[in-house]
Every structure is written in C-alpha cells, then in structure tokens.
Structure 1
Amino acid sequence: MPRLASCLFACLTCLAAGAPLAQDRTQLPEIGSSAAQLISPAQERAYARQMLGEMRRYGLLLEDPLLSDWLQSIGHRIAARSDRPEQPFTFFFVRSRDINAFATLGGYIGMNAGLVLTAETEDEVAAVLAHEVAHATQRHIVRSVESAQRDSLPILLGMLGVLAAASASDSNSAGDASQAAIAGGLALMQQRQINYTRSNEHEADRVGIQTLARSGYDPLAMASFFGRMQRATRSQGDGMPDFLRTHPVTTTRISEAKDRAEELGKRAGGLPALTDEPINPALPGHVHESLSLAHGPDPLGFALARERLRVLSAQSPTEALAEYRRRERAGDELTEAERYGYALTLLRTGKAERALALLDPLQAKHDDRFWFDLAWAEALERNGQRAEADAAFGRMLDRQPRNRAIAMSYAGVLAERGTREAGLAAQAVLRPVLSESPYDPSLQESFGRACELAGDLPRAAEAFAEAAFLSGRAEDALNQLQRLKQREDIDYVQRARIDARIAEMTPIVLELRERGIRAGDRSRSMAPGAAARTLR
C-alpha cells in the first residue's frame, strides 16, 4: 500500500502541476495556435453547413428572410470590427423561446428566438453576438477539443499506472484503490475542462466588449443583459435559462464586464463617435457598405424584429393571435411594432381585412420601412386586391430588385395563383436573387415551384434536389439528381451541372452511410433535444 499510495500521489501531483499551465495559456488572445492542425477553416465550414442541414431536418431553425437579414446585418457589423474581420460568419435563428445563443465551427453563430424576445434593446442583442463572435475569432471551440485531446493522454496514462500498481498489490484495498484512481482521473479531466471553459468565457467577455464598442454599440449592454439574466434565475429556481447553463454568470463577472465597459468609455471620452468613414478597405466581399458606423442602433427595427419573431416562434398562428388579444384586452395601447405583429397573426389566421385595417396607417406613415410595405402587399393579395398587390410589389422591386425577402414573398404570392404566366414571373423575380443566395433551401424550393408552374420540369427537379440537400437529406438529393440525369430532355449544360453536384454530394452521402445515417432515418441519429444540447 505505501508503494500504491506513492504512485497515486506522484501521478496526481504531476497532472495537477500541469493544470494551471493550460489555464494560463487561455488567458491570452489566440495569435496563432496548433489548433489549426486539428481542423482547417475549410473543413470547419463544411462541417458547420452539415450541422445546419441536420438542424433544418429536425425543424430547429427559424428561417425567415426579413429576420435573417436583420440578424446578419447586426452580426456582420460586429464581425467587421472583430479581431478577424476577414473571417466569414453566418448568423442564424433557432426556433426556440429558450434564452440561449452559441458559436460553433466555421464562424456559424446561432441565437434562440427567446433571447431576442427577452432583450430590451438592439445593443443587448449585439452584446451577445459580440461575445459569440469572440468565441469564434479566438477559436475557443477547436482549442477546447485540442486541449481535451492533449490532456486526456497523460491523465489516462496516470490512471493506468495506478491501476497496474493496484492490481500488483495483494492488499484487500486494491479494488478500492483502482476505483479511486478512475474516479480521480475522470474528475481531474472534468475540472480541467471547466477551468478551460471559464477562462474562455472571460476572454470572450473582454474581447467582445472591445468589439461591441468599436461597432458603435453601448459596451455596458453586455453587463446589463448578464445582470438581468442573473436576476431571472432568482425567481425561476431550477428553471435556469439555457444561456446561463452554457454561459455561467456571477456577480464578479458582471462587475468585470461593467468595469471594462466604463474603462473603454473613459479612454474614448464617452461612447465611440459614429462616423461615415470606411471600415476597412481590406474587408472581404461578404461585408457590405451597410455596415457603416454612420447610423447607430435602430430602436424601431429592433421592435419590429422582436414582434415578427414572437409571431413566427409561436407554437401555432392561433397561439400567437391569443398572445396579442391578451395584450389588447389588458387595455394598454399597442405600439406600432405590436400592431405590426398583430397584423401578421391576423394574416396567418385568414383575417386579411382586419390586418389591412392595422397596416394601412403604418404603411402610410413609414414609407421608408419596407417591412410595413411587404406585410401590406401580402394583405392586399389575401384580401383579393390582386392589382393593388402587384403594384405594391412592383414598387418595392424597383427600389430593391435583389432583396431576398421581397422576391420570395412575391414569388409565393404568384405561386398561389397557379398559372404558367405566374410561374414565369416568379422565375424572373427569383433568378437574380438565387445567384446570390445559393445556400438558401427555402429560396431553392420557391424557385422549384416557380419552374414547375412555368413548365421547366428539369430545372424544378434540380432546385428541389438542392433544397433537399441543404435541408439535411443528402441521400434523397443524390437519388433525385441521379433520376434527373436519366431524363432525355436535359441539355448538355444541365447534364454537366448535375454531374458536378453528384460528384460533390457522393462523398458526403458515403460518410453519412458509414455513420449509419440515411435520409429520413432519425432513429440512428440524435433526438432533437439531444442535438440542441450538443450544439450548446
């Protein structure tokens, strides 16, 4: 037993001595790491796209063109002023009213609808995005995996050494010593991962607050949002928001965030001055001119996005309608944004005339807000005023011919008319937008319906296959393309394009088959709840 005790003490002492070193390394910004050898940026993006497809397959995503563009505009404004403005980012909504946000591989950052519904300002939404962007730019996800791999081998060897010594001992306590060695090793690995996660969170706070301030947002918003989340837990007991489970908030952390924000304000003499100067001439093409600091947060835009999220994240249109009716019965006057959300629920429940009554004054007052124009045009169509709807959509397309939300909304209206002429018109509206957003499954599906109506069946089949692939049904998509290739009415260009997509999809399908996942086979994959927990 003395020999066993000394062996155990030596192993644990060596491993414990190495733990602070791993923790200290993470307190510095990542300026070049061996983590890049674990997975390349291109592989990160490829895996992230597959993850997004799986989430679509389970119906976890909330994909609305208006909301997606709103989130992307805030996210890219922050990313453009991050430590890695050249890194591509993709921001998306999760169809859940739980309060959470997460960063994953390849600059893919997800935000639950519930977080925006809980936030009180655009600055608070931007603060959470800045925190998640910092996780991505500092490569915390890959570095965590690398750290776990690096730590697991010496800890495992130490456990094996203790187990070997215990098995060689004739003592009656050898079995207890073996169990203690296993429990101690696992506990040490878990503690080192906790230490690494805590240091990542503090680093993301520090880097995120700096990025938030550079982006023209209030750097105090991060501390205020964390504080409100902490207060929420006191009244909810065990019902802690998921955001706090994955981003543990303490009084110390809130104080540090507030102190950092105030220090930034002192250095700059207040909040950063808004300017119309270019951000950075070296920024990549995915960063648009709309990211200029010439404008600050948009309170009405945030309020409209929150109400639209409230409608689209409800369990059903009827449930959303009940929410607004409860507010109406409470006697409080609805804000403009709330009237907009109420009108959307009325449209979704077949009450177009009442929706128009709410939207008419809003559209007339805010002629610079195409969100009102779009809802108004849809209400005109649903109310049987087809000519007026066409005119309204035409004016919007003249001003913004490549706007995805306008194009998809009008194409949906045209598809409901069910004529060949409507299909041809929808094709013309969608084609320029499709070239700019080829990874949008809803857009691909909308284009497929337009092609069907127009009589272009091969192109429709191609678009439907692409939508299936982007929605996590890679094998279905491959089968559709292989059947399409057998048709005699496709030309040389189409055949070459189909062959190229088959070549791209085949390795992905083979990999999924090796993992035991086939199209539509959910029994071998994760349950939706498990998938969401893993992503967090």
Structure 2
Amino acid sequence: MLNRVTFICTFLSLLLTTQPSRAEEPFNLPLLNDGSSSIVSLEAEYRLGRNWARILRGQAPMLDDPITYQYLEDLLWRLLPHSQVQDRRLELFLLANPSFNAFAVPGGVIGVHGGLILAAESEGELASVIAHELAHLSQRHYAQRLEDERRNRPLMLAGVLASILVAAADTEGGVAVMSSTLGASAQNQLAFSRRNEQEADRVGMQTLVSANYDPHTMPEMFSRLQRNYQFYGQRPPEFLLTHPVTESRIADSLNRASQLPVVRSHQHGVEFSLIKARMEVQFSESPALAVEHFRSALKLNDNAYSRYGLMLASIANRDYALAKQVYQQMPVTLKQHLYVQLGYIEGLMRSANYQEALDQSRQLLALYPDSRPTRTLYARALRDSGQFAEALRVYKSLSRDYPNDAQLWFQLAETEGLAGNTLGVHEARIEYFMLTAQLDQALKQITYARRGKDLTPSDIARLDQREQEARALRQEMKQQF
C-alpha cells in the first residue's frame, strides 16, 4: 500500500515541476475574483478536492463500518448549519487508521481517522475537532496557503495533498513527505499555520456554541493531547504536526471559550459511547484482548459502552454464545437502540445464521426505512441468504442515493456476479474504478463489457458515454495534478 501511495505522491510532484510556474496561471485553474484569494476559485477548489478524493479512495484504507460512518455524518451535519462554510457539498471519509488525525481538503472533503474517536473522551471533544476542520474550510486557509507560497514554492500544492494522502495510509510516511516537501520554507509555514490555527479555533468554537456544544471542549482536548506528547516519543500524532499546539494557543483558546456563552452539557443519548466501543474493538490488538478489556470495563462500570463493547468483542472472537448472552441481558432501552440491534445482526451474519439475520434486519428496516446502515446490512443479509435479485434491488437503490460510495459499487459488482449478470458486473466495476482514480482499469472494463453478447443499442450508448467520461476525467486530473 505505502509503495503505491509514495509513487502517486512522487508522480504528482514530478508533474508539477514540469508545468509552467507562472504565478498568474498556477495549475491551469481559473483566477478567483471573490476577494478571498487570487489563486483558486471555490468551484476550482471543489473540482480539485473531489478529484483528489478519488486518489484518496484508491490509496488509503477506508473503514467499512456503515454504523460509525452514519454517526460521524450525522455529527458533521449537526455542526455544518452553524458553521461559516459557504459551499456545503461536503463528503466525509472514515479511514481505517488508529492514529489521531483529521483533515479538511478544499472542495468539502473531510477526513476522519478511526483513532480520532478513540482519542476523544466525549462527543463534545470529537465535535470540536470537526468544527475546527470546518473552520479551515470556511476561512479558505488552503487558498491562503497557496497564495503565501506561490512565489517561492510552486511545488506546495503537490506536497500538501501528497502528505495528507500518505499520512492517511501511514503516519510515518506522511511525516517524511511533509518534511521533504516543506524544506526551507518550514519556518514560514509554521508561523502561517499558527495564525490559521488560532483563527480556526475561534471560528470553530463559535460553531460549537451555536450547535449547543461546550466551547471549552476544544482547548481541553488539545491541552490533553499536548500533555500526552511524551507518550508518542519522536512520533507525535499527525494531527499535532499539521495543527501545532502551543501553550499560547491553548491559553488563547481558553480565554476565548470563557468569553462565549455558557452551554450546558450537550446530550445525544449513548451514541458516542457505542461508537467508541466499536472503534475499541476495531483497533484492538486481538479479539481476545478486546473481550478481556470489556469484561474488566463491565466490572468497573455497567454501562452502554462496556456492554455493547463486550458483545462486539465476543462476536469478533467468534464466541457467539457469549455475544447472545450479553445482548439478552442488556436493559430494554439499550437493547432497542438501533446501533445495538445492528451490531447483534452483524453477529448473526458472522455466525452464518443468515435467516435470522435476514428476519431481524427486515424488521429493523420497517422501523428505519431511511437508515443507511440498516439498508446496507439488509442488502448483505439478502445476498448471504442467496436472495440475489432482491439484494441487487437494495444495492442499486443505495448506489443511487450515495453515488460516491465506492464500497457500495464494489458490493454491487460482487452481487451482480453472484446473480450471473456479466454486464452489470462490468458497469459496477467501471464506477468503482472511476471513484478510486483507477481510470485505466475503468477503460479496460468498458472494453471487456463491449465484448458481451446480446448488447442492446442502449447498452452500447451507455458504455460509449462512460468511456467519454473516463477519458475526460483522466485529462482533467492530468491538468490539475
């Protein structure tokens, strides 16, 4: 994985060094006339960010957990209306990385590492980091950074995006690329970044207050991270490298928080505790250790976190009898929670109890017909139980509602194959490859699809259109990167 990412980063850098370095035409993007930057327009930022996101999908490991993803997306959209972000076409990425990190890329791309949830001690702390990243987007710090560096470092765009990409897959690699790219301008970048960080703190705390979160959660989380610096040795978390935390910044943010309106503790049920338990199991060294951890946690505090965590850890450890026992002994209110019921159904599927999993997921879908994780789990249960036609119907419905979810297209391709629909396999794979910046692979799938028998004029026209789109996208990405 890392070798492929490193190659992409080197390729981006080489492309930029061969481009004209005229300040008035950086990266062949239109000039901005909105007063906030003289380099990149909002629409150009959007196109650039979304095409970079294709590379991210194809190179960094995504966490295939619809439950956690839905929780984070709900939290993001709870904060967004209270932020200053103008273009609200956001796309969230949940990365299978235990390191503490989050990032925002122009074009509304928000990335969250699974380790961020592990590091947070409350939903407010998690919300504070997301609000901080939204502030970076709303204040257009990315465009400012390019403008600040354009005269001396035309390579900065490739370096910034490449370092984020590598850090998403490997923290140490991200540090190396960041260091080699910034080079001589490191001191100026640090000073510029600190100004941005203070502004993002201020704007982010305003977002928190407006969304009814305590603004003190932001300086509290950063202060705790700084105190824990020693535990990271020579490798602090990537977030602290790209978001420098200093005593003066913490003092400034605490002072600002004290001047904001008092907000009572924000309550959203037990969702944060349940999601944190999911991440504890996800990133545990082994399922057996996770079981022991949650057994101990349950003895100390019988709560939603420990019970749900023990159920999930037991499933991961293939102790389905224990998982069922823990589930049955839960309080009724906890047992009826959507996340808990979905987790239990996951256990049924892992234990090959497909019919019960299908029955339970169908009942849950009747209660939550618009729930993305419920629909996704229902589609999996249908496929695992051999009901391919119905599974295809649900997957196709999901892909229409969430067309940028590459994992959905991957699952759709697999299901089309099980159903014996060769053309459907190729078309789903075409979409998957285009979403993951594997454009040559997409074009190959189009070639394979054209060899199929009994293609209708509509099929041929559709494939011709996809080829045009793939070639146009490849040309656009060459110009951008």
Aligned equivalents of 2:59 and 2:103: distance in 1? Answer: 18
Answering whether residue 149 of structure 2 is matched by residue 148 of structure 1, we say: yes
- For 1:135, the equivalent position in structure 2 comes to 136
- For 2:80, the equivalent position in structure 1 comes to 79
**Structure 2 CA distance for partners of 1:190 and 1:332, relative to 1, 3 Å:** closer
- For 2:175, the equivalent position in structure 1 comes to none
Instruction: Report the alpha carbon displacement of residue 237 of structure 1 after superposing the two structures with TM.
Output: 4.3
1:366 aligns to what SS in structure 2? helix
Picking from 290, 300, 312, the partner of 1:344 is: 312
**Aligned 1:331-410 pairs, distance under 5 A:** 332-333=300-301, 335-362=303-330, 364-366=332-334, 368-383=336-351, 385-410=353-378
2:100 touches 2:237 (CA, 8 Å); kept in 1?
Answer: yes
- For 1:437, the equivalent position in structure 2 comes to 402
Query: Rg: which structure is higher?
Result: 1
- For 1:89, the equivalent position in structure 2 comes to 90
Answering whether residue 286 of structure 2 is matched by residue 303 of structure 1, we say: no
- For 2:29, the equivalent position in structure 1 comes to none
Instruction: Report the alpha carbon displacement of residue 334 of structure 1 after superposing the two structures with TM.
Output: 5.5
Q: Which runs of 4+ in 1 moved over 6 A?
A: 511-516
Aligned equivalents of 1:151 and 1:117: distance in 2? Answer: 39
- For 2:424, the equivalent position in structure 1 comes to 459
Answering whether residue 82 of structure 2 is matched by residue 117 of structure 1, we say: no
1:72 touches 1:91 (CA, 8 Å); kept in 2?
Answer: yes
**Structure 2 CA distance for partners of 1:220 and 1:452, relative to 1, 3 Å:** same
Tell me the alpha carbon deviations over residues 112-142 of structure 1, each in whole angstroms, 9 at most, x when there is no partner: 2222101110000110111110001111012
**Structure 2 CA distance for partners of 1:114 and 1:382, relative to 1, 3 Å:** closer
Answering whether residue 1 of structure 2 is matched by residue 33 of structure 1, we say: no
- For 2:228, the equivalent position in structure 1 comes to 232
- For 2:295, the equivalent position in structure 1 comes to 328
1:109 aligns to what SS in structure 2? strand
Picking from 239, 256, 269, the partner of 1:260 is: 256
1:122 touches 1:299 (CA, 8 Å); kept in 2?
Answer: no
- Paired amino acid for 1:500: Q
Aligned equivalents of 1:297 and 1:261: distance in 2? Answer: 19
2:311 touches 2:326 (CA, 8 Å); kept in 1?
Answer: yes
**Structure 2 CA distance for partners of 1:374 and 1:41, relative to 1, 3 Å:** same
2:354 touches 2:381 (CA, 8 Å); kept in 1?
Answer: no
Picking from 486, 507, 529, the partner of 2:472 is: 507
Aligned equivalents of 2:479 and 2:301: distance in 1? Answer: 58
Aligned equivalents of 2:139 and 2:268: distance in 1? Answer: 29
Aligned equivalents of 1:333 and 1:456: distance in 2? Answer: 52
- For 2:381, the equivalent position in structure 1 comes to 413
Picking from 202, 205, 213, the partner of 1:217 is: 213
Tell me the alpha carbon deviations over residues 171-197 of structure 1, each in whole angstroms, 9 at most, x when there is no partner: xxxxxxxxxxxxxxx85x544333221
Answering whether residue 97 of structure 2 is matched by residue 102 of structure 1, we say: no
1:338 aligns to what SS in structure 2? helix
Give aligned-pair identity as a percent.
29
* Structure 1 unaligned regions, length at least 5: 1-29, 154-185, 275-295, 517-536
2:56 aligns to what SS in structure 1? helix
Instruction: Report the alpha carbon displacement of residue 110 of structure 1 after superposing the two structures with TM.
Output: 1.3
**Structure 2 CA distance for partners of 1:127 and 1:84, relative to 1, 3 Å:** same
- For 2:159, the equivalent position in structure 1 comes to none
- For 1:488, the equivalent position in structure 2 comes to 453
After TM superposition, the structure 1 stretch with the greater mean CA deviation from structure 2, 39-48 or 104-113, is: 39-48
- Paired amino acid for 2:292: R
* Structure 2 unaligned regions, length at least 5: 1-31, 155-182
**Structure 2 CA distance for partners of 1:85 and 1:341, relative to 1, 3 Å:** farther
Aligned equivalents of 2:74 and 2:105: distance in 1? Answer: 19
- Paired amino acid for 2:53: L
Picking from 454, 474, 479, the partner of 2:444 is: 479
Tell me the alpha carbon deviations over residues 3-32 of structure 1, each in whole angstroms, 9 at most, x when there is no partner: xxxxxxxxxxxxxxxxxxxxxxxxxxx994
**Structure 2 CA distance for partners of 1:312 and 1:499, relative to 1, 3 Å:** farther
Picking from 234, 243, 250, the partner of 1:247 is: 243
- For 1:312, the equivalent position in structure 2 comes to 282
After TM superposition, the structure 1 stretch with the greater mean CA deviation from structure 2, 358-367 or 253-262, is: 358-367
- Paired amino acid for 1:436: D
1:80 aligns to what SS in structure 2? helix
2:103 aligns to what SS in structure 1? strand
Aligned equivalents of 1:218 and 1:333: distance in 2? Answer: 25
1:415 touches 1:449 (CA, 8 Å); kept in 2?
Answer: no
TM-score (norm 2): 0.79
- For 2:63, the equivalent position in structure 1 comes to 62
After TM superposition, the structure 1 stretch with the greater mean CA deviation from structure 2, 208-217 or 332-341, is: 332-341
- Paired amino acid for 2:132: H
Tell me the alpha carbon deviations over residues 56-78 of structure 1, each in whole angstroms, 9 at most, x when there is no partner: 33343223211111111111221
After TM superposition, the structure 1 stretch with the greater mean CA deviation from structure 2, 44-53 or 368-377, is: 44-53
Tell me the alpha carbon deviations over residues 447-496 of structure 1, each in whole angstroms, 9 at most, x when there is no partner: 22222233332122211221222233221122102221332333333333
Tell me the alpha carbon deviations over residues 200-227 of structure 1, each in whole angstroms, 9 at most, x when there is no partner: 1111111111111111111110011011
- Paired amino acid for 2:279: L
Tell me the alpha carbon deviations over residues 429-453 of structure 1, each in whole angstroms, 9 at most, x when there is no partner: 2232221101111111222222223
**Structure 2 CA distance for partners of 1:476 and 1:202, relative to 1, 3 Å:** same
Tell me the alpha carbon deviations over residues 504-528 of structure 1, each in whole angstroms, 9 at most, x when there is no partner: 1113335678999xxxxxxxxxxxx
- Paired amino acid for 1:216: N
**Structure 2 CA distance for partners of 1:42 and 1:345, relative to 1, 3 Å:** farther
2:281 touches 2:313 (CA, 8 Å); kept in 1?
Answer: yes
1:479 aligns to what SS in structure 2? helix
- Paired amino acid for 2:137: A
Tell me the alpha carbon deviations over residues 28-58 of structure 1, each in whole angstroms, 9 at most, x when there is no partner: xx994352x5333343333333333333333
2:358 touches 2:381 (CA, 8 Å); kept in 1?
Answer: no
Instruction: Report the alpha carbon displacement of residue 145 of structure 1 after superposing the two structures with TM.
Output: 0.7
1:124 touches 1:222 (CA, 8 Å); kept in 2?
Answer: yes
- For 1:45, the equivalent position in structure 2 comes to 46
What CA RMSD, in Å, does the superposition of the two structures yield over aligned residues?
Answer: 2.9
Instruction: Report the alpha carbon displacement of residue 302 of structure 1 after superposing the two structures with TM.
Output: 0.4
Aligned equivalents of 2:304 and 2:412: distance in 1? Answer: 33
1:468 touches 1:477 (CA, 8 Å); kept in 2?
Answer: yes
- For 1:177, the equivalent position in structure 2 comes to none
Aligned equivalents of 1:386 and 1:197: distance in 2? Answer: 52
2:222 touches 2:250 (CA, 8 Å); kept in 1?
Answer: yes
1:123 touches 1:297 (CA, 8 Å); kept in 2?
Answer: no
Instruction: Report the alpha carbon displacement of residue 249 of structure 1 after superposing the two structures with TM.
Output: 1.3
2:281 touches 2:290 (CA, 8 Å); kept in 1?
Answer: no
- Paired amino acid for 2:394: V
Aligned equivalents of 1:501 and 1:152: distance in 2? Answer: 37
Instruction: Report the alpha carbon displacement of residue 327 of structure 1 after superposing the two structures with TM.
Output: 4.6
2:358 touches 2:382 (CA, 8 Å); kept in 1?
Answer: no
Aligned equivalents of 2:134 and 2:230: distance in 1? Answer: 28
Aligned equivalents of 1:386 and 1:462: distance in 2? Answer: 28
Aligned equivalents of 2:103 and 2:83: distance in 1? Answer: 17
